[in-house]
Every structure is written in structure tokens, then in C-alpha cells.
Amino acid sequence: MVWQVLEGLSRDSAKRLRFVPGVVYVDEGAACGRSWEDRAKTLTDVRQILQTLGFPWHIVSLEEVFALPPSVLRCSAQDPVGTVGTYKVAVDSFLQQQRTLAAEGLRGSPSSAQGEEQPSQPCTQDSEDPVGPPPAAQTEALSQLFNSVKTLTAKEELLQTLRTHLILHVARTHGYSKVMTGDSCTRLAIKLMTSLALGRGAFLAWDTGFSDERHGDVVVVRPMREHTLKEVAFYNRLFAVPSVCTPAVDTKASEKASIHRLMEGFLLRLQAQFPSTVSTVYRLPLGPVSHPLRTSEKLVKAPRDGCAAGPRCLLCMCSLDVDSADSATAFGAQTQDFSQTPPPTPRAEAGAPAGPCCAAGLGGAPNCWQGTRPCGREGSRAHVIEQLCYACRVTMKDVPCLDPLPPYILAEAQLRSQRPSAEIQECLVENSDDEAPASGSGARGPPEQEGKEARAACDRINKNFFN
């Protein structure tokens, strides 16, 4: 895909692309258990390729998730800060750079400026390249996290989530408004079936569609969507596109180890038998994502809530698709428990699942059941779990302890569980914002006035106001 972008931006192409690209590479070696020497070797190869491109590039390692701020999990509606000037100026300056580079390459000596800017080394100007290994503590923490996850399926899902957050953060920091991924048609069909099997039926359009706007300011697009894997392989071969092969989390795993591998194997085998399988699956008309838990229309769009039209999943940022009230559903069947003769505590709906961790073998160790944990930890786990969508909850079932998760996730979970409800949001006086007109004059008070009093006051005022 990067090669195609390069082609599209070159002077010779018929329809020149008009944007300023950058390339980001995420080094996931720590999650796969690779040593720093191996990773350094791969990074050298990657750097070589990136340097020939002429775009600004960023190499980040997955360990940096431990330094992410909780704001990465909030979707914001405004444009990312740091966009250089206006769009036209940015494109023009980039094209200038390209021309200068080409001129240098032809003549073999630096030439005088043809425009107002004279960049000397454009390819490293905006590039990020860590020289040494990331802090050992972070590497250790990452391997601990991934080793504690019990199934390969959950590992792959977690890796994907963390990678997405990291790329999002990089994009926001450097002012990129779009992220392009190189998923081909085959990969997306596999992803679609995998998402289905994981319980993400509600979000298929976001996961596999052309554009994914759930993050608000940064849009993820998939321009390679129409090309099959075979076409990509042929292209790479015919045009000698350099590539680097790195081991991933599921390398050398058996085919039955994870849902992702199973689906991939199944679809590719079926495709061999019925050649239209991939295109049939991929062309399913998936529609705009519905919001089953839309909150009331009275909500003013407070800057903190941004584009959320309802509570969002903490990890994948899709709107929540679980409804605890409706128990005649697949979700209800898994959280209800009818086998205890004294009825279980009402925690069943808060989503503290009796995980399948003792499914194998008789007499599983009692200390891996949820119930024997100290109450405090169970409470905080329940807080995190109830902010997740169905599929993320199932993934988290395979993560026995939430402590190794990067701090930004836990901090955001804590923040969300303490956030006042949307109802009284408009009654609270923010220090910097104007008051919402609906709250009238009676709700003035210190911003800390939350809880029942404020809610009762707001209700009274609203009743008077709207009657």
C-alpha cells in the first residue's frame, strides 16, 4: 500500500494524490517474546525501506502503550491539533520537497531553493526513531501482560486493540487526520467472519468497511479493500516491492489455536473449493451501525462527550451492544445462573462472569474462581467489565487479572465509573464553559455538588422550566 501511495504522489502519475503522508511502524517484538537483538535487526531492515520512501516516518514500539494518556480512549469531534497551516499550504510544501529531492537526486548536488522552503533532510525532519531499546520495565510489563492471557484468541484481540490505540495516539500527536491500513479483500473477509464469531456482529461495518469513524477526529480508511491477497502478492513480485517478514503472536501456533487462525484456514480452504466465497462474504451489505442504547435527545453536546451518542466500549470504542434488561438473548443466557438453589447475588448482571477457566479437568484450583478474590479487586474488575461491549467482555474472560493492563485503560475506566451521569451533566457548572441555558439560574453551585441533591434540584428546575 505504501508503494501505491508513493506511486500516487509521484510527478508522473495521471491522477496525483493530494495529501501529506507519513508512515508508522509498530514494533511488537515484546509481545511475541523476541529478544532485543532480533528486534534491532528487523528495525534496521525496516528503516532501510522507510528511508527510501521520502515520507516522514515513525517507528514506535508497543511498550509505549504504558505511557499513553487516558485521553486516547475518548473520541473527540474536533480536528487534531498541530495540522500544519492550511491544507493547501501543506500539500504545496510537500510537493516542493518532492521536487527538490528529485532535483537533488538527478544532479547529485544540493540545489538552491525553488520555493520558499528549503528542507535539507525531509525524510528525517518529522521522523521518530528510537535509537536504543525501550525501558526494560515496560518490556517486562508487556511480556507479563501477554503471558498472563490464557488463550491465543484473546492475545490477538488484545494486541490489535493496543496497536490501534498506539497508532491513534501517534496520529493525533502529529496531526494526521486519517490512518490508512493495508487490509486486502481476503484479509477483510477473514476479519469479518472472525468478528462474527467473536460476537461483534453489531460493529461489522466499522471493523471491515472502507472508513471507520468511531474515533471521531481520526478516521481509519482501508484503501486496499478491493484487492485480493493474490493480487497484492503478484504486484509485490512484479514491481519488486521490498518487504520485511516478522514473526507475529500467532507464528508457529497450530491451526486450531485461535479463532483467527481457524477462520483464516477455513476460508482459504473453502475458497479453493468455491472460488467465490471471499467475494460473497466481503460484499455483504453491511449498514450504518445502529445505536441500541441511544440516550435522550435533551443532551447538549458537551465537549467532554464529543461524538458519543451513548456509552462506548472502553477498549474498542464501539457503542455498547449489551442490554442487561433483556435476558432472553445470548448475553442474558450467559450471565444468568439457574443452577444455584439459593439465588445468586445480583452481581450476575453487573457482568462478573464465572469464567470457563476451570473447564478443563476435574477439581480446578479454587483460587482461580472469581468469588474468592478480595472484594475490592472484584469490584474494580466489575467496573471495567461493565464498560465493555460483548466481544471485549468475552476477551477479558481470558485475562484473569486486570492489573497488568496499561495504566491508561485502568485510569479511564476509573474515571468513567465516577463520572456523573449524563442527566446532571448539564446542571453542573463548569469552570471555563458557559452554562447550558436549560439549567436556568437555580442550579448555580460549586462544581463538586454532585449526587442526589444536584439531581433533585435539576429535576425541579427542569420541571418548572419546561412546563
Can you give the binding site for other proteins, defined by CB under 8 A? Answer: 151-153, 192-193, 195-205, 256-259, 262-263, 266, 270, 273-277, 279-281, 283-290, 292, 321, 326-334, 336-341, 354, 356-359, 362-364, 390-391, 394
Give the other-Cβ count within 10 Å of 310's Cβ: 14
- The least distance separating other proteins from the CB of residue 57, rounded to whole angstroms, comes to 36
**Element spanning 185, H or E:** helix 185-198
Nearest to other proteins of 183, 321 (CB atom):
321
- The least distance separating other proteins from the CB of residue 319, rounded to whole angstroms, comes to 10
Taking the C-alpha atoms of residue 310 and residue 295, their distance in angstroms, rounded to an integer, is 6
Nearest to other proteins of 115, 201 (CB atom):
201
Taking the C-alpha atoms of residue 384 and residue 409, their distance in angstroms, rounded to an integer, is 9
Are the C-beta atoms of residues 311 and 324 closer than 8 Å to each other? no
Are the C-beta atoms of residues 21 and 9 closer than 8 Å to each other? yes
- The least distance separating other proteins from the CB of residue 290, rounded to whole angstroms, comes to 5
Taking the C-alpha atoms of residue 226 and residue 91, their distance in angstroms, rounded to an integer, is 27
Residue 178, classed as helix, strand or coil, is strand
Taking the C-alpha atoms of residue 84 and residue 281, their distance in angstroms, rounded to an integer, is 41
Nearest to other proteins of 351, 406 (CB atom):
351
Nearest to other proteins of 95, 357 (CB atom):
357
- The least distance separating other proteins from the CB of residue 348, rounded to whole angstroms, comes to 12
Are the C-beta atoms of residues 83 and 175 closer than 8 Å to each other? yes
Nearest to other proteins of 168, 396 (CB atom):
396
- The least distance separating other proteins from the CB of residue 86, rounded to whole angstroms, comes to 36
- The least distance separating other proteins from the CB of residue 262, rounded to whole angstroms, comes to 5
Residue 444, classed as helix, strand or coil, is coil
- The least distance separating other proteins from the CB of residue 467, rounded to whole angstroms, comes to 36
- The least distance separating other proteins from the CB of residue 325, rounded to whole angstroms, comes to 10
Count Cβ neighbours within 10 Å for each residue of 283-292 and write b for 16 or more, e otherwise: eeeeeebebe
Nearest to other proteins of 203, 408 (CB atom):
203
- The least distance separating other proteins from the CB of residue 182, rounded to whole angstroms, comes to 24
- The least distance separating other proteins from the CB of residue 246, rounded to whole angstroms, comes to 24
Nearest to other proteins of 205, 413 (CB atom):
205
Taking the C-alpha atoms of residue 319 and residue 266, their distance in angstroms, rounded to an integer, is 30
Nearest to other proteins of 329, 464 (CB atom):
329
Phi, psi of 385 (to 5 degrees): -60, -35
Instruction: List, as one string, the DSSP characters of 126-137.
Output: S-B---SPPPHH
Nearest to other proteins of 366, 437 (CB atom):
366
DSSP state of 430: P
Burial (Cβ within 10 Å: 0-12, 13-18, ≥19) of residue 255: exposed
Residue 244: partners with Cβ closer than 8 Å, 6 or more residues away: 42, 45, 46, 49
Phi, psi of 319 (to 5 degrees): -70, 145
Taking the C-alpha atoms of residue 305 and residue 208, their distance in angstroms, rounded to an integer, is 25
Nearest to other proteins of 204, 454 (CB atom):
204
